């Protein structure tokens, strides 16, 4: 009997609050034979999976990858070739700094059927839960998503000069480690040192904390409050709306305006 190939769903789990998963993502989990999930996926979402599904943890902490990206690729291919319905469950959106594009390319190379299921990304959701609209008719007509960590470490190849002058609101992922570098680059490229900046730790979860400062002061604020990953950095005048529009009850709230 000829083995029928399976299908892979590359699925966004959303930013942390389990209620923010999409209906389509939940349906994919319900039918999956195999679920490969990341570190930032809320474990509550795994309850959507079948009782006899195979769960494979693929978590990656900074400097500590329990499963290499190459191994993940191979698992996806092997399981799909074995006729399984596979869900690759990623925090946020799989195509926004989630390496979903790389995984889809591997599936194409192996002639495997796949589908992308978008998710709510933390670059939009975390600011929203902190009372920060990334666009606003008066304060922000443009918005950019930027990685704060590159293959070489510091995001040196990013056109900080363009971002400093050409975009109203910046949402920076994975940038806590390189926050001093990011702030100094923007200031050196002409961004006003008093530009408001917010750092949102564990956005949309019960452990969310937000601290606010300026490009000049935020590193000290973050260090004083021991803000750690995962955290989203938001830069721009819309940060000034945070206190006014704050609606989500943070367990430890540290709104510091300097």
The C-alpha angle 205, 72, 31, rounded to 5 degrees, equals 65
What is the H or E stretch that residue 231 is in? strand 231-235
What string of DSSP letters covers 135-186?
-BTTTBS-EEEEES-BTTBS-TTS-HHHHHHH-SEEEEES-STTHHHHHHHH
**Which of 38, 79, 84, 232 is the catalytic position?**
38
Instruction: Find all residues with CB under 8 Å of 206, minimum gap 6, and list them.
Output: 251
**Which of 5, 24, 60, 177 is the catalytic position?**
60
Is residue 145 among the annotated active site residues?
A: no
Is residue 93 among the annotated active site residues?
A: no
Q: How many CB atoms lie within 10 A of CB 116?
A: 18
Is residue 50 among the annotated active site residues?
A: no
Alpha helix (H) residue ranges in 18-169: 23-31, 69-81, 100-109, 122-129, 160-166
**Which of 90, 174, 191, 232 is the catalytic position?**
174
The token duo for 38 is 């990341």
Active site residues: 38, 60, 174
């Amino acid at each position: 009997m000829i083995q029928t190939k399976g299908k892979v769903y590359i699925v966004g789990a959303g930013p942390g609050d389990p209620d923010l998963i999409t209906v389509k993502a939940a349906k994919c989990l319900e039918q999956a034979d195999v679920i490969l999930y990341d570190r930032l996926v809320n474990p509550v979402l795994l309850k959507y999976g079948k009782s006899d599904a195979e769960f494979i943890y693929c978590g990656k902490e900074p400097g500590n990858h329990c499963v290499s990206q190459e191994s993940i690729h191979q698992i996806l291919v092997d399981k799909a070739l074995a006729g399984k319905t596979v869900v690759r469950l990623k925090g946020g959106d799989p195509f926004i700094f989630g390496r979903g594009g790389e995984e889809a390319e591997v599936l194409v190379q192996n002639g495997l059927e796949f589908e992308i299921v978008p998710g709510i990304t933390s670059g939009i959701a975390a600011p929203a839960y902190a009372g920060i609209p990334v666009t606003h008719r008066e304060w922000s007509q443009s918005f950019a998503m930027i990685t704060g960590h590159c293959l070489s470490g510091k995001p040196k190849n990013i056109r900080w000069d363009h971002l400093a002058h050409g975009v109203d609101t910046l949402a920076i992922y994975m940038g806590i480690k390189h926050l001093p570098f990011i702030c100094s680059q923007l200031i050196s490229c002409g961004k006003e040192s008093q530009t408001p900046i917010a750092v949102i730790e564990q956005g949309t979860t019960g452990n969310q904390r937000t601290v606010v400062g300026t490009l000049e002061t935020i590193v000290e604020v973050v260090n004083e409050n021991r803000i750690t990953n995962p955290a989203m950095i938001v830069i721009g005048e819309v940060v000034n709306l945070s206190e006014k529009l704050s609606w989500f009850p943070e367990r430890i709230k540290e709104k510091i305006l300097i």
